[in-house]
Chain A
């Protein structure tokens, strides 16, 4: 059966989203095992992710970091079927060594209407434990409020953050750390 989001989580409704809102901060470390699943899924055979890279040892595949804006949003809001990933902008600044902890900060930087549909833009910055910038990404998500409310009635909601155990979540709003 479909997973229901945490009942006390707010619904991510376009009209309620506020530009400038800071989303929960995340800390994460990806290991060989976790990365291995991604590499198998992608049929990615570049040795940079397994053994040696131009920077020394193996590096973290950025696909593990690209969804940081969505994960951050999921940690505060119910993540509904009416939430569609429409566009992604990514700036690759430095590779992250595999196994090195990363910290991710995110906020809502824009919202707009296009063809009668609402979009929000979430920007994330990933830095390593030494503060070195790794990756900056912007995720444009379409939020269809009507479809979302319909999905909520049937329980067709997306993933609560509890199934992302690799993330440590710090949400100032909820006082979690």
Chain B
């Protein structure tokens, strides 16, 4: 599963991940039995939203899935992720998680990869932006 190798070059793209967003997936992720902006159209509209919106952490999980695919077990034992949520994700959206290797930093015997990561929707609009890093064997 791991794709990251020490000889990767800065600027190289990480293998992207694509996810289709449905209202069911948003509701399931929210895991809440009540009506709120993540689960119900009326409540979302009352709150001034065009539709129920996905929690930011749902995108966070997608980014982490891409990084688990890339870094393997090192992601869950040494990974660091910082994300800013800049646009809503709604039912019907198709989200693609992308990343680029920005630098390779030696930390003693360990090499840490610093990456730029983001999510974009089907219109090419970024919904989440941030940075990620993890050690590479």
Is A92 within 8 A of B75, CB to CB? yes
Residues of B within 8 A of A174 (CB): none
B79 interface residue per 8 A CB criterion: yes
Shortest Cβ distance from residue B14 to the other chain A in the assembled complex, whole angstroms: 16
1/0 per residue B15-51: CB within 8 Å of A?
0000100001111110111111100000100110000
Which listed residue (A41, A67, A92, A154) contacts B25, Cβ 8 A? Answer: A41
Residues of B within 8 A of A55 (CB): 73
Residues of B within 8 A of A94 (CB): 76-77
B55 interface residue per 8 A CB criterion: yes
A88 interface residue per 8 A CB criterion: yes
Interface residues of A in 108-145 (CB under 8 A from B): none
Residues of A within 8 A of B77 (CB): 92-95
Query: How many of chain B's residues have a CB under 8 angstroms from any CB in A?
Result: 41
With A2-B43, A63-B61, A159-B32 in contact, is A89–B82 under 8 Å at CB? Answer: yes
Could you tell me the distance between the alpha carbons of A59 and B62 in the complex, rounded to whole angstroms? 17
Is B28 within 8 A of A88, CB to CB? no
Which listed residue (A37, A67, A95, A158) contacts B76, Cβ 8 A? Answer: A95
Please name the 3 residue pairs, one residue from A and one from B, whose CB atoms are nearest each other, closest first.
A41-B28, A41-B29, A3-B34
